[in-house]
Amino acid sequence: MSYLILVRHGQSVWNLEKKFTGWVDIDLTENGKLEAKKAGDLIKLNNIDIDIYYSSFQLRAKNTLKLIKEILEDTKISKEAWQLNERHYGALTGLNKDEMKVKLGEDKVHQFRRSWDLRPDPLDKNNPYHPININTYKEIPMDKIPDTESLKDTYERVLEFYKQEIENKISKNNILISAHGNSIRALCKYLFKLDENQISKLEIPTGNPLLINLDENKKITDCKYLDSKRARDLVVF
């Protein structure tokens, strides 16, 4: 048996400000740092030794992982992958969600956030929030940097990386992935075989490790959030 642990980063500054963040490289709040440390405490309490760590390229995920590893006193080098980045919200990037509900209507904003294949309008390449203008992404090939994404687009890039890089390691390793709400939702769609309706309802809490048990055939035998007080419905379990 092996473990796959999925951790959505702790609360970020723009989570707190209710802004569409996407690929903007925003750091954790103080509360987000506490959430990350608690995630580390929960993993340590369950006596889980991690063999391989992954995070996205983004500061909030990398710093969440850094704090978890400090709690675990683990000095292994983490692997970073832009494919695990949050979904790109296009022209919505940097805008306040509540203000957009007033401007566009709650139904439209809900569609942008939760629909499977609806993309917001693309973000102008001259916008300082566009990934091509953010130093974090300077090593990513230009043709891989999106102007906007749907959840389907996010799912395709996350899944391609997961199948190529992670899936073949799971049967012999305990793996932890520190990523984002939508990149983790994408992984959950694949792992739990969720349909488009189920994935639209799935919420991922910040800083709460999702522990997934897999057998030697990579079949899920059990899963749970380590902080039961902040657990969300997993739809299938």
Q: Among 102-111, 138-147, 171-180, 188-197, which is the least confidently predicted range? A: 102-111
Q: What is d(CA 121, CA 41) in angstroms, rounded to the nearest whole number?
A: 41
Q: What is d(CA 80, CA 61) in angstroms, rounded to the nearest whole number?
A: 10
- Is the pLDDT at 237 greater than 50? The verdict is no
- pLDDT score for 234: 65
What are the pLDDT digits (tens) for 181-234?
999 999 999 999 999 989 888 889 999 999 999 988 888 999 999 998 877 666
- Determine what percent of the chain is predicted with pLDDT higher than 70: 97
Q: What is d(CA 18, CA 210) in angstroms, rounded to the nearest whole number?
A: 24
Residue 104: helix, strand or coil by DSSP?
helix
Confidence category of residue 17, pLDDT binned at 50, 70, 90: very high
Q: Is 180 a known active-site residue?
A: no
| Topology, domain 2-230 | Rossmann fold (3.40.50)
pTM above threshold 0.85: yes
* CA-based nearest residue to 90, from 128, 136, 145, 146: 146
**DSSP run (H or E) holding 190:** helix 181-191
Average pLDDT of span 99-127 = 90
Q: Is 9 a known active-site residue?
A: yes
Residue of 35, 86, 130, 149 with catalytic role: 86
Residue of 9, 88, 130, 180 with catalytic role: 9
What are the pLDDT digits (tens) for 150-194?
999 999 999 999 999 999 999 899 999 999 999 999 999 999 999
Please state the domain extents for the chain: 2-230
- pLDDT score for 54: 98
- Is the pLDDT at 48 greater than 70? The verdict is yes
Residue 121: helix, strand or coil by DSSP?
coil
* CA-based nearest residue to 208, from 87, 49, 37: 37
- Is the pLDDT at 86 greater than 70? The verdict is yes
The chain-wide mean pLDDT, for the chain, equals: 94
Identity at 213, one-letter amino acid code: N
